[in-house]
Amino acid sequence: MEKIALLTSKRILLGVTGSVACYKVVDLASKMTQAGAQVDVIMTEAAQQFVTPLAFRSVTGRPVYTSMWDLDDHVRHVGLGETADLFFIAPATAHTIGKLAYGLADNLLTVTALAARCPILIAPAMDGGMYEHVATQTNVNTLKARGVLFAGPGEGRMASGLSGWGRLVEPAELLAHARQVLARGGSLHGRKVVVTTGPTREPLDPVRFISNRSTGKQGVAVAQAALDAGASVTLIHGPIAEPVPMGVTALPVQTTQEMADATLTAVKDADALFMVAAVADFRPGTQSDRKIKKTDEAWGLAIGLEVTLDILSAVKEQREKTGTPRVALGFAAETHDAFEYGRQKLLRKGLNFIAVNDVMESGVGFEHDTNRVLLLSSAGVVEEIPLQSKTAVAERLVHHVAKTLNGR
């Protein structure tokens, strides 16, 4: 797993209580550690019935705390709670949730929760309708009103074989929740960001279309980087295989016109637009609503392509009237004379920034996990971003846009 800039050097206190879902949290602890966080685990006695401290210690490389009564550590609960960036309690049983709601402090986990000054995130896990019970619901609402955050629970099949609310959400989703909490106060905190990504598809008939090789990886990485910087993100995407980051508002589209409509609406109250999509430049002049038969050779010769709407030019026009988005960043996929074409596009489309790719270079652009980008503004070269993961490139782009928005 790749390091996550947001998690690097963060201290996460993971409180584990007694549920069969403990085994999933070993995976979460492993994911957070691999992403660069320092993960300290507190286990209750009941949790140790399901997995051993050794399992957590093996994946975190850190001591696991199980007792209030070890004499080698003076006021441990205060120390643990004070230095953490996040106290993540997962899985959280109905019993622990109840104790937290009432401020009870009978073990290291609950005592640390009372002493903690960092955000507390709770991922409930319980079976047999316990989550829906009015007692649990009251406790959950008490904690929410106090600013405690919740991840899940999910709905589905539980260990007993019953179905309902109470499933611990999957480790990847738990990680996404932790990221959202840690992102608060980032450089895009309180900002609304629109990202477009992927190809668009222009149908010829119900089974054929014109499209391009875009996979959406770079735009998805930008959306995640903006989320990690604390923004609320709308991701307008064409057909992509890439999973959409948890926490974005996803608007799936097919055609250029659909992407244009969604983008022009979304940017009305946005601070920034990252136009990463590889928009289809042409569409068939006529579309058939029935599948064209192979014998219809004349049709093949007669497809008259027409140019699609240039979305960024339409955004420019709208922006001149409304002033939103305040910052617009476009991409330029070039095969030659990248700098000059990029510069011209920046001016023509009225952009603050353009990220120029030379897609003929190896490891750059479509279908790759890496990218090399020349970032230009009207003042010239802003940064030559070297060949690296699309995630790392996205973080640089977000950094520059945030800097412009924040006037620094």
User: Mind telling me the catalytic residues?
Assistant: 212
Is residue 223 close enough to count as binding ligand CTP by CB under 6 A? no
Q: Give the interface segment with ligand CTP, choosing from 57-65, 106-114, 182-190, 276-284 (CB under 6 A).
A: 276-284
Is residue 256 close enough to count as binding ligand CTP by CB under 6 A? yes
Q: Which is nearer to ligand CTP, 231 or 275 (by Cβ)?
A: 275
Q: Which is nearer to ligand CTP, 136 or 357 (by Cβ)?
A: 357
- In angstroms, the CA 354 to CA 39 distance is 38
- In angstroms, the CA 213 to CA 365 distance is 10
Q: Give the interface segment with ligand CTP, choosing from 10-18, 81-89, 187-195, 324-332 (CB under 6 A).
A: 324-332
Q: Contact, 372 vs 364, CB < 8 A?
A: yes
CB of 275 to ligand CTP, least distance (A): 4
- In angstroms, the CA 296 to CA 291 distance is 10
Q: Give the interface segment with ligand CTP, choosing from 85-93, 150-158, 164-172, 327-335 (CB under 6 A).
A: 327-335
- Candidate residues 312, 393, 398, 402; the one interacting with ligand CTP per rule CB under 6 A: 312
- Candidate residues 311, 327, 374, 393; the one interacting with ligand CTP per rule CB under 6 A: 311
Pairing of strands 192-197, 154-157: unpaired
Q: Which is nearer to ligand CTP, 168 or 329 (by Cβ)?
A: 329
Is residue 275 close enough to count as binding ligand CTP by CB under 6 A? yes
CB of 216 to ligand CTP, least distance (A): 12
How many residues bind ligand CTP (CB under 6 A)? The answer is 15
Q: Which is nearer to ligand CTP, 186 or 330 (by Cβ)?
A: 330
Is residue 258 close enough to count as binding ligand CTP by CB under 6 A? no
Q: Which is nearer to ligand CTP, 104 or 309 (by Cβ)?
A: 309
Task: Find all residues with CB under 8 Å of 390, minimum gap 6, and list them.
Answer: 217, 218, 221, 368, 369, 370, 371
Q: 155-193: string of b/e by CB count within 10 Å (b at 16+)?
A: eeebeeeeebbbbbbebebbbbbbbbbbbeebbbeebbb
Task: Find all residues with CB under 8 Å of 27, minimum gap 6, and list them.
Answer: 171
Q: Is the dihedral of CA 176, 181, 182, 185 positive or negative?
A: positive
Q: How far apart are the first and last CA of the chain?
A: 33
Q: Is the dihedral of CA 336, 338, 340, 346 positive or negative?
A: positive
- Candidate residues 238, 247, 330, 365; the one interacting with ligand CTP per rule CB under 6 A: 330
- In angstroms, the CA 328 to CA 272 distance is 6
Q: Give the interface segment with ligand CTP, choosing from 9-17, 79-87, 124-132, 303-311 (CB under 6 A).
A: 303-311
- In angstroms, the CA 216 to CA 197 distance is 5
- Candidate residues 345, 372, 390, 396; the one interacting with ligand CTP per rule CB under 6 A: 345
Q: Which two tokens stand for residue 359?
A: 């897609």
Q: Which residues are at the interface with ligand CTP (CB under 6 A)? A: 256, 275, 277, 279, 281, 308-312, 330-333, 345
